[in-house]
Amino acid sequence: MCHGAPISAFPEAKLGAPFGAQVHGYSYGDVGDKRIAILPDIYGCNPFYQGMAAHFLNKGARVDLIDPFHGLGELPEITREAAFARRNKVQDKTFLDAFGAYVSEAGVTGVIGFCLGGLYIFELARRGLPAGLVGLYGFPQGLPNDDPIDPPFTYLSSIKQPFVMLMGRDDEPVGRDNIDKLEAAASSAPAMSLTVYEGVGHNFLPLLDSDAPEKRALAEDAMRQCEETLL
Select which of 67, 92, 202, 226 is catalytic: 202
CA–CA dist 56, 140 (Å, integer): 27
Beta strands in the chain (DSSP E): 17-20, 24-28, 35-39, 62-66, 110-114, 132-136, 163-168, 192-197
Select which of 171, 177, 209, 221 is catalytic: 171
45 is catalytic: no
CA–CA dist 79, 87 (Å, integer): 12
Select which of 115, 150, 177, 226 is catalytic: 115
CA–CA dist 189, 171 (Å, integer): 21
Strand partners, 134: 112, 164
2 is catalytic: no
3-state secondary structure of 89: coil
171 is catalytic: yes
Q: Write out the catalytic residue numbers.
A: 115, 171, 202
